[in-house]
Amino acid sequence: MRRLAPMCLALAAALLGCSSGSGPSAGGAPAGPSENPVTSSGSAVKPQVTFGERLPIARYSYTADESAFIESAQQVLTKRCLRTYGITYEPAKREAETSTSADRRYGLSSASEAARLGYHPDLGPLPAGPDLPEDALRVFYGNRGAEPGTAEKVVYKGREVPRNGCFGQSVAQLAKKYDAPEAAEIARGISTQSYKDSLTEPKVKEGFRNWSACMRSSGFRYATPLEPANNKEFQREDISAKEKETARADVRCKEKTDLLDIWFKAESALQKAEIDKNSETLKELLTAHRKKTEAARRIVAEG
């Protein structure tokens, strides 16, 4: 299966990073309050600082701990719903986040990842789904993903199941009460548009030219750092020596030209201007996040 190009993933992160919704991974893995991961020596693992987390709009996203509590609350509500169908479900304990992958909002930024993965994303292991029999999974998920009116109703032991299952119902239950979709859309739009607009900023364009010149001196001809990640040759399943060599030169030239810092500062300025224009609406989003997190904590405490 072909993997998504890293720059596509970066843009996807820009599109989704400020969502007011929250839920587990696509596999439906349960979640709980996170803890700091540790190495085998007992010292804390320090995830790499990401550009996305430092951009001004990041303030209007859920923190990792807030997301963990919301996901845990969704699992508690799902457990309660399943119980009404006579299904026993115990969410697995959330494992600590151990990923130390570098941010790819501006393409590759880690020399070690470039040497190891080239432009391939560090996907990590796929999360496990809920440990339930097949018929119980239909109650958990319902007809999730089916077009309205195209799927048969799910019935379990004579009782109709919510269209998106107990889990979908639980996510919607919290969202209906606490989400601020219009404010979230504004935040999401700022995150997406600032990235697009940053590509035309004079200092960023100059940085691209300097980066391109640096790459040429190493034998690689790319006009911008967006190009190598979208090279079809580097999207194959295997990671070639040429891909790794290109990736190492990419990061080295970004460091030499200070492109990442230039790009980050340019986009930050763009975001600050838009945040100022939408400050009142974005305050509503922060309030919604706070109320939803508080509700999630109560649900988790009640079990």
91 phi and psi angles, rounded to 5 deg? -55, 140
SS3 of 47, please? coil
Residues 6+ apart with CB under 8 A from 12: 4
Average pLDDT, the chain: 84
Query: What are the phi and psi torsion angles at 38 (to 5°)?
Result: -130, 155
Query: In this predicted structure, what is the pLDDT of residue 92?
Result: 81
pLDDT digits (tens, 9 = 90+) for 175-217: 999 999 999 999 999 999 999 999 999 999 999 999 999 999 9
pLDDT tens, 247-262? 999 999 999 999 999 9
pLDDT category of residue 103 using cuts at 50, 70 and 90 = confident
- The C-alpha atoms of residue 209 and residue 224 are separated, in whole angstroms, by 7
pTM of the entire predicted model: 0.77
pLDDT number for residue 122: 85
Cβ of 165: how many Cβ atoms within 10 Å? 23
Instruction: Compute the 3-state secondary structure of the chain and give helix, strand, coil in percent, each to the nearest 5.
Output: 55, 5, 40
pLDDT of 38 reads: 39
Token pair of 143, please?
């007809």
Could you read off the pLDDT of 106-148 as tens digits, one per residue? Answer: 999 999 999 999 999 988 777 778 999 999 999 999 987 666 6
Per-residue pLDDT, 209:
98
Instruction: Specify the residue for token string 């090279």.
Output: 231
